Amino acid sequence: MKEFLKNTLASCLGITIALIFFTFFIVIFFIAVFASFSPDSTVKVRKDTVLKVELSGVIPELTNNVQTGSFNFSERDKLGYRDMITAINNAAEDDNISAIKLSLEWPALNVTAANELMNSLKKASDNGKPIFIHGTNFSQSAYYLASIADHISLNRFGAVDFRGFGMMAAFLPDFFNKLGIEFYTYSAGAYKGAGENFSRKNFSDENREQLQDVLFKTYDLFLARISENRNISEERLKEIANQLLSRDDLSALELGLVDAIESKREFEMRIKDAIGVDRDSDLRTVSIGDYFRSTRSSSRSRDSDQIAVIYAEGMILDGNDQGGIITDQPYVNAISKIAENDNINAVVLRVNSGGGSVIASDNIFRALEKLKETGKPLVVSMGDVAASGGYYISAPADVIFAEPQTITGSIGVVFMIPNTSELMQEKLALHFDSIATGPNALRFLPTHEFTDFEHKYYEDAVESVYHRFVQLMADSRNMTYDQIHQVAQGRIWMGEDALASGLVDNIGSLQDAIEMAASLAEIEDYRIRTYPQIKDPFTRLIEELMGESVSLEKVALERLSKTFGDFTHIQNIHRLKGQQAIFPYSIMYN
């Protein structure tokens, strides 16, 4: 009887706890649902308001297109820089906005984003909205964007990092040899650098050549824009970098890199003086997120003619995930729906990707080809990177636009197979025996060294894939195999060089691509529809709970990635399966 009562009480307690958790979850669910349906709060912008533009962390091109955990409700929106540009352009015409206050907290902005934000800020400044920025330490990429400001002030004991660009990569064969692991690398294309890190101790001559080309041309663009913004000659800027003249706040001021050394309070007083506000009054500000939400409804067009803009940013992977990556299932589905939508007259694919899975890239490629069969014009706009798989999905376009700083091409193939025989047999003392139905049943195992036959098999395989890759690009670009092969070889090209080689058709921005799409579709009045439609964190949480268990690995990865940015990239590489078309480097200009 005693055991019966004990078990009964334990069961009742368990049921009670479960009901409490269930009730709590239901309450949270309905709160979130009602919040998601609530209209955007309207922000009233009064006279002499300063638009506050705060840039920090990863800034996607499309709002909310970032990798986040499902439990992350800390931010309502991660405003993309496209919407930021819209807000800044609106502010340039808004009589109630008197100035723009820019804040840079280690933003991870690509060069394309920085240039386009810079252009919008310049227009606002030219329209009587001065740009102010104050900081303690400016990285090179942050200073590049900050240079457009009418007034740059530096906190006492701050600094401007200005020392030129460099690139470093780790080469790992000796490290893996100590573990008893060797990587067999098979590549097609003399410039295909992926895999070198595992098979060499330094850059190959071909890879060094192409990386130097990208680095120095990007540096030239960097210097030219800062020279224009700050009225300092490029020769002087090179001297500042090469002699490391910018060392502290005083030297930055003396060199003309900043306009003043002042505290935040002094900085705000300067803004008040500039816009004619009493120094004893509070500075009236509005965040760019609130300002965008309050103005976007008035800017929406109701035209029936539409142009779909598909943002493809991040690594290309197989699957159905969303946010900061390109997985084939949602993109193929979106492209299919666009093809069936009679209101959509043309499509622009905006690519910011170094590639990834060959199969996922090909699935998107085929979906775009089917879309073209409907007669809808397809125009590609390349951002910072549209290489390897990123170029693959661009190839079906009627017209391809690249930006001057775009890295594209990388049409090549690489296979990497680990040989762990020494690790298994000598270091771990593992022994293997086998039974097979034929001579090839147990070939290509990483537990044994490859024979000449196995090496030849992969060499032939990589050449076959490369041949198909080149031929497909040649057919898509209306070029011969030899013409594409000549500029392929796994080589990367900057925008102007890609134009000269026939890999792209024009140098221009996303807006240029949209205007081209409208022209090809013979429409003048249209509205833009953006894809993919990013789901909010709560919706993703519900889908995970209903479909699969919430992964603690995802939560941990999110936290690690905030501190160590490479963790997300490593996790994505871990997900890759089969053949890859990928540009192996993530280039950030800091």
The pLDDT tens digits of the residues spanning 306-344 come to 999 999 999 999 988 777 899 999 999 999 999 999 999
Pairing of strands 285-287, 49-58: parallel
Contact (CB, 8 A) for 146 and 140: no
Per-residue pLDDT of 384-405, as tens digits, reads 999 999 999 999 999 999 999 9
**How many other β-carbons are positioned within 10 Å of the β-carbon of residue 172?**
15
The count of residues in the chain is 590
Q: Is 90 exceeded by the pLDDT of residue 240?
A: yes
Greatest Cα pair distance in the chain: 93
pLDDT band at 14 (very low <50, low <70, confident <90, very high): low
pTM for the predicted model, two decimal places: 0.82
Contact (CB, 8 A) for 381 and 349: yes
Which DSSP state fits 189? S
For the record, the structure tokens of 393 come out as: 């999905």
Report the pLDDT value the prediction gives residue 193, as an integer from 0 to 100: 85
pLDDT band at 562 (very low <50, low <70, confident <90, very high): very low
CA distances from 274 to 50, 112, 138, 282, 411 (A): 11, 31, 24, 14, 53
Give the CA-trace dihedral at 75, 139, 86, 340, to 10 degrees: -70
Quote the mean pLDDT of the chain. 86
The rounded Cα 56 to chain-centroid distance in angstroms is: 14
Q: Is 80 exceeded by the pLDDT of residue 163?
A: yes
Report the pLDDT value the prediction gives residue 44, as an integer from 0 to 100: 84
Report the pLDDT value the prediction gives residue 31, as an integer from 0 to 100: 46
Measured distance CA(141)–CA(232) in Å, rounded: 17
More confident site: 115 or 321: 115
CA distances from 228 to 20, 162, 244, 341 (A): 63, 16, 21, 45
Per-residue pLDDT of 543-558, as tens digits, reads 555 554 444 444 444 5
Give the CA-trace dihedral at 462, 467, 470, 472, to 10 degrees: -110
List CB contacts of 135: < 8 A, sequence separation 6 or more: 103, 104, 142, 146, 152, 153, 154, 155, 158
For the record, the structure tokens of 489 come out as: 């070889």
Measured distance CA(150)–CA(147) in Å, rounded: 8
For the record, the structure tokens of 243 come out as: 């002699």
Report the pLDDT value the prediction gives residue 34, as an integer from 0 to 100: 45
Measured distance CA(291)–CA(45) in Å, rounded: 8
Contact (CB, 8 A) for 323 and 68: yes
Does residue 388 come out as left (phi exceeding 0), alpha (psi in the -120 to 50 range) or beta? left
Q: Is 60 exceeded by the pLDDT of residue 18?
A: no
For the record, the structure tokens of 52 come out as: 């506050």
* 466-471 own/partner pairs: CB under 8 Å, 24+ apart: 466/188, 466/189, 466/412, 466/413, 469/392, 469/411, 469/412, 469/413, 469/581, 470/411
List CB contacts of 312: < 8 A, sequence separation 6 or more: 326, 331, 349, 350, 351, 352, 353, 364, 390, 393
Q: Is 80 exceeded by the pLDDT of residue 190?
A: yes
Contact (CB, 8 A) for 267 and 132: yes
3-state secondary structure of 577: coil
Measured distance CA(105)–CA(55) in Å, rounded: 6
563-577-354 Cα angle (round to 5)? 55
With the C-alpha atoms ordered 314, 315, 317, 321, is the resulting torsion angle positive or negative? Answer: negative
Burial of 376 (0-12, 13-18, 19+ CB in 10 A): buried
Per-residue pLDDT of 136-147, as tens digits, reads 999 999 999 999
More confident site: 194 or 115: 115
Measured distance CA(111)–CA(104) in Å, rounded: 15
Q: Is 80 exceeded by the pLDDT of residue 413?
A: yes
Edge-first strand order for the sheet with 49-58 is: 260-261, 151-160, 131-138, 97-108, 49-58, 285-287
Q: Is 90 exceeded by the pLDDT of residue 539?
A: no
Q: Is 60 exceeded by the pLDDT of residue 298?
A: no
Best CA proximity match to 45, nearest among 122, 84, 99:
99
Peptide bond preceding 173 in cis form (omega within 30 of 0): no
Measured distance CA(32)–CA(538) in Å, rounded: 7
In percent, the amount of the chain with pLDDT more than 90 equals: 70
Per-residue pLDDT of 348-376, as tens digits, reads 999 999 998 889 999 999 999 999 999 99
372-350-357 Cα angle (round to 5)? 80
308-312-315 Cα angle (round to 5)? 165
Report the pLDDT value the prediction gives residue 553, as an integer from 0 to 100: 47
Q: Which domains are assigned to the chain?
A: 49-162+246-297 (3.90.226.10), 301-417+432-582 (3.90.226.10)
Q: Is 60 exceeded by the pLDDT of residue 256?
A: yes
Contact (CB, 8 A) for 352 and 60: no
Contact (CB, 8 A) for 504 and 424: no
Instruction: Give the N- to C-terminal CA distance of the chain in Å, as an integer.
Output: 73
